[in-house]
Every structure is written in C-alpha cells, then in structure tokens.
Structure 1
C-alpha cells in the first residue's frame, strides 16, 4: 500500500477515520520489524513506519549518521505529506525512541503536536548514552548485536548477508552513540516508557527520567526480557499503544485526552 514517500511504509489498510501511529525502528532495523504490530493495530489505527535510508528498498541510498539530521528529514517529509490529515501518536524502539522524541518535538514546534509518545528500550534523552561500538571492528560490532538479541541467527551466520547489513548497522550505531539532547521544551502529551527487566541498555531510573520530557501523564511498563522484550509481549505493548491513541475521527489538532496510569 503506497504512501507516496520513500520514508514511509504502510503494511495494512485501516478505517478512513482512524488516528495515525508513526513507528520508528531500532538501530540496524527496518520498517518490516513493525509488520506484526501493524497487523494487530490496523483495525484501530493507520500505522505508518519510517524506513531509514540504506536498507531494504532504500539499500542504495547513503545512511544518515546523525539523529538530529534524520529527525529534520523525517519531520519535513511528514509535514509536507500525510501528517496534517488526522491526529497521530508516535512510537519508537531503542534508537527509534530517541528519534521519535526528536521528531515529536519538531512536529509540536511546527504546529502538529502528537497525541501521545511511546518509547521502548531507551533511556531518556537527558541522560547521554555514549559508546564506542561504532568505532570497533566488525567482530565486536557483531558481538554487540548478539548481546542485544533481536537479529535472526540465520542472518548472523550468513557472511554475505552480514556483509550487506553491517554498513547500515554501523551507521546507526554512529547516530545512536553520538546523539546528544540539545534541549527542547517538554511535550504536553502522555508518555509511556517500555523496558525489559534484563535490558543491558536501560534500567528503571533511566527509563523513569522520560517523565521530565513531558508535562502530560507518564507511565512505565517493565516486561520480563531483554532489549527486545516488546516482541514476546507484543499484545501487552499493543494494548499500551491503543490506550493512548487519539479518538477516531477527532479533528486535528484536538487529540482526545488520555487517562493517566502511574
């Protein structure tokens, strides 16, 4: 189902009066990661997934190694494209959580405030996450990918496939490990932070710090599992997303208020 933009993928059709959900994949990820989420949400939301350059049908395009530059590009695409049509919420995992936040702030500043922000597997922007894996050799980069899980073992065992994806993975690691929050006024929408209790990248205090980035309601959900705990708990995650979706057929930009669950 075409969206008219190389930046956005739509896997399923939704009712015409549905609110919209924008999804942002993790480092090394692509739009297809959110296919099962889109399938479950399609009766309730028009799910658009951001497709980063350098992967899948955008394989031949250069990767973007700055989250701030990526946020500028995605925001510009959304504002001139589908966004003004209806109310929307934003969801991102890992690197995608930071990017989702940056895009949400830019959209708010452009006059399109999100109705809700859900972030998964990522510490708050105000807590830097420095790293040097992007400077390491391929073996160390692959070891870190294995540590986090979420990548099919068959792909890791296939040298040709691995060689094809490593450049985009490394570029994403550059973007993630060099990202620094530049300051922004807090959002005023509900924010939900999702983490796994064994995630090596984020702990509860770091996840709780997301509450400082919005004046709206905040809730933290901790699932059993690691960095990709949202996959085995997909139904619970979908329930969280549905809880904050703006009302069907609501007139933008007057999103429905969400109930706070602390």
Structure 2
C-alpha cells in the first residue's frame, strides 16, 4: 500500500516555471508531497502555446491539481502572479468540493491594489522594450545577464509578457471570497507592502499577514522561514 502525503501545490510568478521553486522544494520535509506546477510555454511545457487569458490559465492549474490529488489535505502556494491566480484556483476547487487547507501567498497585496498601480504606470505587457526592461529590473526577478543579452532576453520576454497579460488584461469579474484561511507575506521594499491586509477581504476564514525584509523576491532570502509557513499552514498553527 502506498502511503499518501499531504500535498503542496506551487504556482509560479510571471516568467517562472516548475523549476522556480527548487530552492523551497529541497527544504520541505519528505512528509509532504510537493508539486511545482507551470503554465504552458515554458519549462517542461515549452512546446505548448503560451496562455494569455486568465480563465484559461486558472482552468489549466485546476486541471493539473485535480489530476494529482490524493485523499489527503492540500494547500496552494503562489508568488506574485501565482498568488493572484491561486485565489481563483482555490475558489474553483472549492466549488468542486475540494477545499484547500490554506492559501499561502507572497509578493502580492491582493486584487484591487495592483489595479491602482497599473492605472498609474500602464499595463506592463504593452510597454515598449526599454520601459519593459526597466520594469523587470525594478521587480528584481530577472538577472542583468538576461536583460543585457538579446538572445536570452528574446527567449524569456514573450513568456513574461504573456503572464503579465494574463493578470492585467482582465481577471474573472466576481467578488471572490474563499473558505480557506489565507497567509500573506510581502517584502518591505515592495511598493504596496503597506496594503497587505487587503487579503483579509478575500477569505471568510482567518487571514495572517506579515512583511519581511527584502524586495519583491524576498522569498529567495527567507527559504527556511517560508517552508515553515507552508508546513504549518496545514494545521493552522502559524502565529
């Protein structure tokens, strides 16, 4: 008989893939089954066409999770774009009577706040190359090696633009509230970190929010702390 373990499903940031969370997976206890998922057009799914529609992206993630589910509790973790999509994925699974034990989100202040920033700066997927590269530098998730090498940049930029289009062109229009508790974390250097408690609007359960030292990719500096959050979120023992 195969012993089934509680499951952790990870949703990547814009331009990310299933390899983006290796630094976390290697630190998570083997008492958990970890699945780092990815959307088409990158990583192991490179040959598939990029998705540029939020509802298609949400359905893709739901189908991936459903195909891997066992009968044990599970959580969803998403960073940045993955946090936004994770909220809708959790709601869709809830409607299918498969409710996550928790939604853990990082690098994202929740729906509505980013819309204000987009209105000020303009949609990122429509930016010219100069402004787009500057935006990526500001976010900190793309190395200078990629930004300054035209061959590398031309390879990765379509993936990042497509992902920005997914979350900026139009998310499902609904007042979404999930039954799962939410644990939200942001980097102190992120522009909207003071709005992190916005996440409380999206759960009928409890919501724990905190700001950690670092920029948008602060998770790279705090892997052990984040892993503790992921593991403890199953039994809601996070202080």
The two structures share one fold, judged by TM-score above 0.5? yes
Is residue 24–residue 227 contact of structure 2 (8 Å, CA) maintained in 1? yes
Asked whether 1:26 is paired with 2:10, we answer: no
Q: Choose from 69, 81, 88 the match for 1:95.
A: 81
How big is the shift at 1:30? 1.1
Asked whether 1:258 is paired with 2:232, we answer: no
Q: Choose from 128, 146, 166 the match for 1:175.
A: 166
Query: Following superposition of structure 1 onto structure 2, how do residues 35-114 of structure 1 map, counting pairs within 5 Å?
Result: 35-79=22-66, 81-114=67-100
Measured in 2, the distance between the counterparts of 1:184 and 1:190 equals 17
Q: What secondary structure does 1:172 align onto?
A: helix
Q: What secondary structure does 2:221 align onto?
A: coil
How big is the shift at 1:156? 2.2
Unaligned ranges ≥5, structure 2: none
Q: Deviations over 1:54-92 (max 9, x none)?
A: 11232222111122221012213322x122432100000
Asked whether 1:198 is paired with 2:184, we answer: no
Is residue 92–residue 118 contact of structure 1 (8 Å, CA) maintained in 2? yes
Measured in 1, the distance between the counterparts of 2:141 and 2:114 equals 23
Q: Choose from 199, 220, 226 the match for 2:215.
A: 226
**Greater share of helix:** 2
Q: Choose from 182, 197, 211 the match for 1:208.
A: 197
Q: Using a 3 Å threshold, how does the CA distance of structure 1 residues 139 and 128 change in structure 2: closer, same or farther? A: closer
CA RMSD of aligned residues (A): 1.8
The answer for the alignment partner of 1:4 in structure 2 is: none
Q: What secondary structure does 1:21 align onto?
A: strand
Measured in 2, the distance between the counterparts of 1:141 and 1:106 equals 32
The answer for the alignment partner of 1:251 in structure 2 is: none
Q: What secondary structure does 2:27 align onto?
A: helix
Is residue 193–residue 211 contact of structure 2 (8 Å, CA) maintained in 1? no
How big is the shift at 1:126? 4.4
Measured in 2, the distance between the counterparts of 1:64 and 1:237 equals 29
Aligned residues: 233
Asked whether 1:158 is paired with 2:156, we answer: no
Q: Using a 3 Å threshold, how does the CA distance of structure 1 residues 114 and 75 change in structure 2: closer, same or farther? A: same
Unaligned ranges ≥5, structure 1: 1-14, 246-256
Measured in 1, the distance between the counterparts of 2:193 and 2:168 equals 17
State the TM-score, normalized to the length of structure 2: 0.90
Measured in 1, the distance between the counterparts of 2:142 and 2:238 equals 34
Is residue 25–residue 95 contact of structure 1 (8 Å, CA) maintained in 2? yes
Asked whether 1:120 is paired with 2:106, we answer: yes
Q: What secondary structure does 1:199 align onto?
A: coil
